[in-house]
Structure formats: structure tokens, C-alpha cells
Amino acid sequence: MAESFEKDVVVIGGGGHVGLPLAIALADRGSRVVVFDINEKTVATINGGTLPFTEPGAEPVLKRVLADGRLTATTDPASVATAENVVVVIGTPVDEHLNPDPNAIPKALESTSGYFRDGQILILRSTVYPGVTALVERTVGGLGLDMDVAFCPERIAEHKAMEELFSLPQIVSSRTSRGRERASRLFSTLTDEIVDLEPEEAELAKLFTNTWRYIKFAAANQFYMMANDRGLDFERIRAALSHNYPRAKDIPGAGFAAGPCLFKDTMQLAAFSDNKFSLGHSAMLVNEGLPLYVVTQLEKRFDLENLTVGILGMSFKGGSDDIRSSLSYKLRRVLKFKAKAVICTDPYVSEETDDTLLPLDSVLEKADVLIVATPHPEYRGILTDKPVADVWNLLGNGVTV
């Protein structure tokens, strides 16, 4: 095995929500890290000491590791050859038919495989369809290089990366003991707990985790609709049933279950089970149907054709600027068919991301009916005499008007 590398880690696709916090954390723990990303603007932003997205606590650390020379970002694919640990944060997408594309990662690696070297370890980090790790192993084997392959799934939640990268156990999987040892050595710089699995077990563990959360959210949303249809306050019921009752303490509140992972990974698991995953499909119908339910409830009470509806929040979660797979945009599309006009606001989403957004004061003034679509903390203190549909119970009104 080759022993000499300029860097410890290169993160392929490292300018995003998964790769960049990992790169910053590893650099802060002493690794020499290079972030490789094809987006020139993202790379320039990172090298300037600014995060291209919101992640609490990460930017001061980024500035520190840049100043210390332990992290740099580049668009040069040749950087892949400089590091012993090659971390890939490209996941498995689903297509318009909700089928996973298992070839997405091998295709993405084609542009960098010419820079792979003997002695490296290739670590898959993002969620993959079961069997993709084995597919990558075969691809790497065909290059004739002495490289290890590992799958070590990320487990962080957005906005908690700089805490959870250090506090959560890390699942490590590889086909060989050498691969497990090398991957464990790298992630042991971040966390004290390493959990060993076989690659196929680790792939399912990641999918099971996200799907379990998606199903729990679906149960809560179904309960919410049941209560709301009878004019009852689901949040009041939830607070009562979970009060000092440990077996119910994990029941979540109602709200739009969205983002780039939960729905996608549930559909990947459905495909893996030959589309016999009725529980997962039912969860999808409930969660994806919640925006439609809200609009239907409003139609029962108001003449939407003659009203302007204001949507508060367009990102997929509170306090975030991430609009990927946000159900707020599905809500907006539905309302465009139903309402006289639809106006939207979000304190975190930039004009560059969505140039249709208005300031909050303008939406509060112009809208006849309001919908809290994202539970941003800025909305908690809103005072308005206009009707509000508040699935999240952010304003404490409980029942969707």
C-alpha cells in the first residue's frame, strides 16, 4: 500500500449539507481535509470563510480551520489523488417514478476514478440503495487498485451537525477487516462509539432509520386529521397522553414531513421490498396528503376563489434555509388552482433561491387567510386577527380553521 499522501481526507461533493459539516469537523479534530465540489460559487464561498447554507456553530469553526490551513476547497478533481480517505457524499436518488437509481454513484465516480490511487479507502457516506456498496466494490475492483471500500452512513440532523457528529455513534461497515479498521480509525477522531455492521446491514440500517421517522410522522398526522375533523385539539390530546407516560413520550406533533431524505428513503425501501411495503406507501399517502387536507379544510370554511392566501415558511423545517422537497411548494401549487392569489414569505430562504417571496409584514397585510407551513421561531409572536391554519400548533390555536 502507498503511504504518502498530502491530505488525510478528501470529501467528494463536499460543499453540501452532509459533506461540509463532516469536513469541518474532521479538520477541527486535526485532519488535513480538502473539499472537492464542482460548484465554483460554493467553493469560493467556503474558501472565503462563509457557509453556503445555515448550520449553527459551523461557520466559526470553518474560519478557524481555514486559517490553520487544515481545510481548503477546490473544483479540481485531481485533489482526489491527494488524500488517503476518499469520502463520497453522493447518495442514491429516486426518479420521477419513485424508483431508485443505483447507478447514480458509480456514474458520479467516473469523473474522479482516474485519480484513485493504491492505498486509499473509498468511504460512502450518503444514503444508498441496498447493494450499491457491493456495486462500488466491483467498480473499484475493476480499476486494479489496492483500495478498500466502506459504507459509513451519516446520521446527523440539519442544524445539529456540529453537535451530533461528535455525540452520535458511527456505523461502520466494510467487506474486509482492514477496511473496517481504517474507517473506524478515521471516525474515532470524532466519536467514541463505533458500531460494526456488514455493508448490506448498514445500508438497511440507514433506510430503516429514516423510514421509521417518516412512519411516526405519518401516524401523528393521521391522528391530527382525525381529531381536527371532529373539531378537537390534537396537540392538547398529545400533551395529555404523553404527560409522565414513557411509552408515549416519542409521539411527535403534527406537521409537514418533508426534506431530502425521509420520503426518498421510504420509497427506496419500498422498491427494495418489490413494492410490497404497504406501511411505507400508506405513510407516504398521509404525509404527502397533508397539504391537500389543509386546503380542503379551508375550502369548507372560505370562498378561496376570492381570497388571497399567505403561506408562512417555505423551507422544509423550522430555522432552515433548505427548500429541498419542501411541502410548502406543493401547498403553493395546490392553492394556485384554488385561491385568488397566493403569496409567500420565509425569513431564511434567500431571494436568490426564491425571488417570489415577500417580506413577512407584506404577507400579513395583504393575505386574507394565513397558513403556517414551516414552524420558524419568528412566527411564534405573530399577532393577527386573520384566520390561520396552523398544523404545527405554533400559535397555539390547535384546530385548523
Question: What would the pLDDT profile of 138-153 be if each residue is shown by its tens digit?
Answer: 999 999 999 999 999 9
Distance of CA 326 to the CA centre of its chain: 11
Residue 340 and residue 374 in one domain:
yes
Q: How far apart are CA 298 and CA 4, in angstroms?
A: 65
Q: Any alpha helices (H) in 129-277, and if so which ranges?
A: 132-141, 161-167, 177-187, 199-229, 234-242, 262-272
Residue 214 and residue 329 in one domain:
yes
Q: How far apart are CA 365 and CA 252, in angstroms?
A: 32
CA nearest neighbour of 390 among 382, 378, 381, 398: 398
Q: Which of 172, 201, 230 is the last residue in one of the domains?
A: 201
Residue 124 and residue 154 in one domain:
yes
394 inside domain: no
DSSP letter, residue 69: T
The predicted model scores a pTM of 0.92
396 inside domain: no
400 inside domain: no
- What is the percent of the chain where pLDDT is above 70? 98
8 Å CB contact between 210 and 145: no
Q: Which of 154, 176, 201 is the last residue in one of the domains?
A: 201
1 inside domain: no
Query: What is the chain's Cα-based Rg?
Result: 23
Statement: residue 3 has pLDDT above 70:
no
395 inside domain: no
CA nearest neighbour of 213 among 152, 261, 249, 174: 261
Burial of 97 (0-12, 13-18, 19+ CB in 10 A): exposed
Q: How far apart are CA 231 and CA 213, in angstroms?
A: 27
DSSP letter, residue 252: P
Residue 190 and residue 242 in one domain:
no
Question: What would the pLDDT profile of 372-394 be if each residue is shown by its tens digit?
Answer: 999 999 999 898 999 999 999 99
63 inside domain: yes
Residue 77 and residue 122 in one domain:
yes
C-alpha grid cell for residue 114? 482516474
Sorting pLDDT into bands at 50, 70 and 90, what band is 398? low
Q: How many CB atoms lie within 10 A of CB 271?
A: 19
Residue 185 and residue 250 in one domain:
no
Residue 144 and residue 229 in one domain:
no
Q: Are strands 170-174 and 83-88 parallel, antiparallel or unpaired?
A: unpaired
Sorting pLDDT into bands at 50, 70 and 90, what band is 98? confident
Residue 161 and residue 227 in one domain:
no
Residue 255 and residue 141 in one domain:
no
183 inside domain: yes
Statement: residue 300 has pLDDT above 90:
yes
Residue 101 and residue 156 in one domain:
yes
**74 Cβ contact list (under 8 Å, min separation 6):** 34, 35, 36, 37, 43
Residue 220 and residue 352 in one domain:
yes
Residue 104: predicted pLDDT: 79
- Strands annotated E in 258-356: 308-312, 341-345
Question: Which CATH number characterizes residue 349's domain?
Answer: 3.40.50.720
CA nearest neighbour of 327 among 274, 393, 375: 375
Range(s) of the domain holding residue 69: 7-201
Q: How many CB atoms lie within 10 A of CB 236?
A: 14
In total, how many domains does the chain have? 2
C-alpha grid cell for residue 173? 461497515
Statement: residue 134 has pLDDT above 90:
yes
- The strand pairing partners of 308, in sequence order, are 341
Q: Which of 148, 177, 201 is the last residue in one of the domains?
A: 201
Residue 335 and residue 225 in one domain:
yes
352 inside domain: yes
